[in-house]
Amino acid sequence: MSSPTAALEHLERVVGPAHLITATGGAATLAEGVSEYRVDGQMPLAVAHPGTQEEVAALLRVAREHGLSVLPRGAGRHMHFGSVPGPIGLLLSLARLNQVVEYDANDLTITVQAGMTLGELARITGANRQVLPLDPPGGEAATIGGVAAANLAGPLRMRYGAPRDLALGLRVALSSGEVIRTGARTVKNVAGYDLTKLFVGSYGSLGAILEVTLRLIPAPEERALFVASLAPARAREVAAALVGGRLDIATCDLLNHESAKGMRLFLPVTLRPENVVLCVGVMGASEAVARQERELKALLPEGVARAEVQDLGKRVRDVAYPRSREGEEAKRRDELSVLRLSVPLTAVVDLLATISAEPGWKAAAWAGDGTVYAVGPAEVRVLMRLRGAAEKAGGYAVLEYGAPELKRSFPVWGESVANLDLMRALRRSLDPSETMGCGRLV
Amino acid sequence: MLDRRFLRSLTKVVGRPNVLAEPADIVLYSYDSSSATGRPDVVVFPASTEEVSRVVALCAQHRVPFIARGAGTNLSGGSIAVRGGVIVELSRLNKVLELDLANQRAVVQPAVVNLELQNLLAPHGFQFCPDPASQKASTIGGNVAENAGGPHCLKYGVTTNHVIGLTVVMPSGEVRRFGSGVLDTPGYDLVGLFVGSEGTLGIATEMVLKLRPLPEAAQVVLALFDTLEAAGEAVSQIIAAGIVATALEIMDRNTIRAVEVSFPTGLPMDVEAMLLIEIDGLAEAIDRQAARCAEICRTLHARSVEVGKTQEERTKLWLARRSAFGAHARISPAMLVNDATVPRTRLPEVLRGIQEAERKHRVEIGKVFHAGDGNLHSNILYDRNDPEAFHRAEEASREIFELAARVGGTITGEHGVGVEKTKHMHLLYSPQDLHAMWQVKRVFDPLNLANPGKVLPEEAEASQ
């Protein structure tokens, strides 16, 4: 490795002093006040905000030449994902690459740069009454590049899939500085290997995603959210009937009492500690929504209410991404952990009960795809118990949020990850210098 | 010629009745549904993952290519041997291992036929969404290898969107599990990488499929037009109207004639285009949408518009479309199947381009389009005994590929690259893009024994 100063000078020549932040100078310093760039408590040697794809490629070449490891960053919403990173040489911010590359509204596809936020994307497509049907926890401030890198989805996944399903193609900068294209701009393409799938969900360990082509859907005419409070056995029965039936619902979420009581003001039902709250989202033609409402009422004689609060769905998702004052407090004290469990559909309600048995643990589940979030105090013992329950059901548990010490004692991805040798070989083949990702996944 | 010891070892693995090496047998495995041919040295019929693994390990040990084969319905030469070697015929791996409807998943072996699975699921109210036109014959293993589509993938996505786990025999013979029985398996999306790799990264011997409840109701609108452009315009307007159809299919006059000559369905022979629209979902949701589609077609001067609501009516309206490929094959056994796919907004211009290619190269092209997702099947008919005709067909095909690439499309939407389209890959991908794919290939298959000569052009890589 050459001297850090030489590397920093070299990086600065690429983006200009206004867009490089280092411990020693530049636009701002990494000393006090720029703590948002910490990843698991660690300050990178430099943070660069390139303004063009050519600058990204040049930065990567410089990083490789000087032996700096690189971690891509979008809006910084999900930098807490993954194992505690090794030394971070360059935090590569893609926030300035936030433009529409091509939007062919009549084709229902859009190509945007990685740094565009989901909120901005929704605004742009909304002007044409179109939406990207993706609602990950962490919300509108997250960037499309970040959400793709983590393959992060929300409750709509049961109907529309995850980023792996919605991304048609990518432009990716490899650590060599070469920029490659994967996939196509058409909704169907089988020419060559589907490298899009390889990069989506690779947490920046194979390259930096620069552009994403996405499929859109026409904005639904009407949306509604229906809420009921049910005994767990009933919740299991009703959720199974809804996600396996023909009512064509869009989302099916379950909350345990600990989560529900935090949003009691927004829930149009009376809460009971022993109950589970069911939130069913529907979207589509107004006649269909009216019919779905009728059928839900018939299915739930114990009572179901249409939610008046527009953003209840967001509050439900935010169980998985705590931003409340209390949540932020717990994060500061390193006392918070968020576990994402993926299990077969029939295991969801039992898992919810297992989580609820732990004092103070919140749980939210997307019952249509088997995702369960458990949010509670950072206790390895409990986390191990919950992971054990998921694995026993044939699933997995990934620690999405936790202080570095917690991540060191509770392996983020699991005690062992299948095919790690193959993944490492793939990683070496695309990133021979092992520059990318800083060891958060592979 | 294969080493005798190698043949003996293969026989030991699968048993003598499950090895074919006589010239007459070999010839039968020299074809698939494309125009490509190639002779394997031997065909084996393993009965389990373990046997596949041992066969492939022997191939690795003796440096012999191996080619997985299902029903042989491949349209790009993906299932033929271009460098000899072993055809691993998977027809004995034909069991549905698990139907877990409560968890909306099924575990199947590769030779389960797509339609058989659908028939098993339908009485329970479920479906496996991919429905390639070949579904009566094609196998799930083939669907996975090719990332098959079908008319309904417009709404529900292609095969890769419905596979969550795979058991894979790697080109070394090693057996691995990719993905699992749940949606999120930690690590890279190896399932997504493997699906559509056309047998060049290994052989999948078990697959975990995601199932989906069948829609409650469906309606089919069938409109006949006097110009192909009007049908294309109707598709654009339907999409722009915010209607998510389940299928939007166009057939041109050549195809209608071929169908009516071979399997008469009662379509008039003098129309230029047929547009078939299917909408599914809640009964309440589809009435207004189907009516709106019919209205769009009438505004564009459709000669007739018919709406089918019952299962019988729908099946009748689908009949001509479902017969299209067979009809072409019947009137002209030799055809090049072009599967270019373009952004839907570029359809009118591409349709014109295809008609120009038809005139310029004096070929007959049967056009059967999954217009809703821009997937254009141009079946270019030629006389197998006339090398000059084949050459003209190839030229027309190349021009359509170039046009598709120029407007931001791709050279294959669902049939695969196989052996026939490797030479066109550079139209879509830079040498760097292709090099990245080669890097992946080398990780899985360093000896290049898994279906060699397919998908990736070798010349470009050699000069890297």
pLDDT band at A25 (very low <50, low <70, confident <90, very high): low
Mean pLDDT of A392-421: 96
B412 and A191: CB-CB below 8 Å? yes
Tell me, what's the pLDDT at B322?
85
Is A370 in Cβ contact with B182 (below 8 Å)? yes
Indicate if A177 and A243 belong to the same structural domain: no
Q: Are B217 and B246 in contact (CB under 8 A)?
A: no
Distances (CA, A) of B217 to A247, B279, B280, B290, B310: 11, 8, 6, 12, 9
| B304, B332 Cβ separation under 8 angstroms | no
For the cut 90, the answer to whether the pLDDT of residue B427 exceeds it is: yes
What is chain A's mean pLDDT, rounded?
A: 94
| Residue A38 lies inside a defined structural domain of this protein | yes
The H-assigned helical ranges of A200-284 are 232-243, 257-262
Among chain B residues, the shortest Cα distance to A221 is held by B242
Q: Percent of chain A, pLDDT > 90?
A: 86
- The total number of structural domains in chain A stands at 4
ipTM: 0.96
Q: What is the pLDDT of residue A197?
A: 98
Mean pLDDT lowest among A33-42, A432-441, B303-312: A33-42
Task: Give the domain CATH number at A65.
Answer: 3.30.43.10
Confidence of residue B410 (pLDDT cuts 50, 70, 90): very high
pLDDT one-digit tens code per residue, A145-188: 999 999 999 999 999 999 999 999 999 999 999 999 999 999 99
Say if B187 is an interface residue toward chain A (CB within 8 Å).
yes
Looking at CA atoms only, how far is residue B112 from chain A in angstroms? 22
Do B321 and B361 belong to one domain? no
State the CATH number of the domain containing residue B68: 3.30.43.10
Q: Are A422 and B370 inside 8 Å of each other by CB?
A: no
- Check if B84 contacts A (Cβ < 8 Å): no
Note whether A31 and A83 are same-domain residues: yes
CATH of the domain at B350: 3.30.70.2740
Distance in Å from the first CA to the final CA of chain A: 22
Together in a domain, B294 and B309: yes
pLDDT for A29: 57
Q: What is the C-alpha to C-alpha distance for residues A245 and A238, in angstroms, rounded to an integer?
A: 10
B176 to A165: CB separation less than 8 angstroms, yes or no:
no
Task: Assess whether B233 and B304 both reside in one domain.
Answer: yes
The answer to whether the CB atoms of A247 and B195 lie below 8 A apart is: no
Q: Which of B213, B231, B265 is the last residue of a domain?
A: B213
Last residue of a domain, which of A183, A218, A253?
Answer: A218
Neighbours of A63 (CB within 10 A): 27
**Nearest residue on chain B to A189, judged by CA atoms?**
B413
| Residues A238 and A277 occupy one common structural domain | yes
Range of the domain at A353: 319-409
Partners of A109 in beta bridges: A104, A215
Domain boundary among A77, A95, A113: A95
Q: Whose structure tokens read 């169980």? A: A319
Nearest Cα neighbor of A201 from B194, B187, B192, B191 is B187
Average pLDDT for B427-442: 97
Same structural domain, A119 and A151: yes
Contact B177 A422 (CB under 8 A): no
The domain that contains B128 carries what CATH number?
3.30.465.10
Share the mean pLDDT of chain B: 94
Give yes or no: residues A60 and A36 share one domain.
yes
- Region B185-210: what's the mean pLDDT? 98
Alpha helices, H only, A252-379: 257-262, 286-299, 312-317, 325-332, 348-356
Q: How confident is the model at residue B1 (pLDDT cuts 50, 70, 90)?
A: low
Q: How confident is the model at residue B464 (pLDDT cuts 50, 70, 90)?
A: low
CATH number at residue A184: 3.30.465.10
CATH number, domain at A363?
Answer: 3.30.70.100
**Contact call for A191 and B186, based on CB within 8 A:** no
Chain B residues whose CB is inside 8 A of the A202 CB are: 188
Interface A:B, Cβ pairs < 8 A: 258
Show the beta-strand stretches assigned E in A151-288: 167-173, 179-183, 208-215, 217-218, 222-230, 251-255, 276-284
* pLDDT score of A138: 84
Same domain for A331 and A259: no
pLDDT of residue A4: 77
pLDDT higher than threshold 80 for residue A326: no
Q: Which of A218, A249, A280 is the last residue of a domain?
A: A218
Structural domain for B366, as ranges: 332-415
Residue B245's pLDDT is what? Answer: 94
Statement to judge: residues A132 and A213 lie in one domain: yes
Pick from B239, B411, B443: CB nearest A429: B443
pLDDT per position as a tens digit, A77-105: 999 999 999 999 999 999 999 999 999 99
Determine the pLDDT at residue B35: 85
Using the Cβ of B48 and the Cβ atoms of chain A, whether some distance falls under 8 Å is answered with no
Chain B residues in contact with A292 (beta carbon < 8 A): 282
pLDDT digits (tens, 9 = 90+) for A276-297: 999 999 999 999 999 999 999 9
Category of A358 on φ-ψ map: left (φ > 0), alpha (ψ -120 to 50) or beta:
beta
- Among A172, A189, A422, A440, the residue to mutate for chain B (most B Cβ within 10 A): A189
How far is it, in rounded angstroms, from Cα A60 to Cα A241? Answer: 51
| pLDDT value, residue A436 | 97
Spell out which residues of chain B touch residue A346, defining contact as CB-CB under 8 Å: 102-103
Cα separation values, B181 from A69, B119, B207, Å: 35, 22, 10
B147 touches chain A (CB under 8 A): yes
Question: Residues of B numbered 333-392 whose beta carbons fall under 8 angstroms of chain A's beta carbons: which are they?
Answer: 341-345, 370, 373-375
Could you say which of B170, B189, B213 is where a domain stops? B213
- Residue A42 reports pLDDT greater than 80: yes
Q: What is the pLDDT of residues A193-229, one digit of tens each?
A: 999 999 999 999 999 999 999 999 999 999 999 999 9
Among A164, A192, A202, beta carbon nearest to B437: A192
Least Cα separation, residue B29 to chain A (angstroms)? 25
User: Which parts of B111-158 are beta strand (E)?
Assistant: 126-127
**Residue A309 in this model has a pLDDT that exceeds 80:** no
pLDDT > 90? residue B323: no
Is the CB of B246 inside 8 Å of chain A's CB atoms?
no
- Regarding whether B349 and B401 lie in a shared domain, the answer is yes
Q: Among partner residues A245, A285, A423, which is closest to B285 by beta-carbon distance?
A: A285
Q: Does one domain contain both A266 and A342?
A: no
Same domain membership, residue A246 and residue A304: yes
Task: Say which residues have a Cβ less than 8 Å from residue A200's Cβ, sequence separation at least 6.
Answer: A148, A149, A151, A163, A164, A167, A170, B189, B192
Work out how many domains chain B is built from and give that number: 5
Using one digit for the tens of pLDDT, what is the confidence trace for B264-311?
888 999 999 999 999 999 998 899 999 999 999 999 999 999 999 999
Same-domain check for residues B346 and B386: yes
Write the residue in A245, A394, A417 that is nearest to B186 by C-beta: A417
CB contact under 8 A, A442 and B189: no
What pLDDT score was predicted for residue A31?
53
Is residue A370 within 8 A of residue B182, CB to CB? The reply is yes
- Residues of chain A positioned with their CB less than 8 A from the CB of B103: 344-346, 370
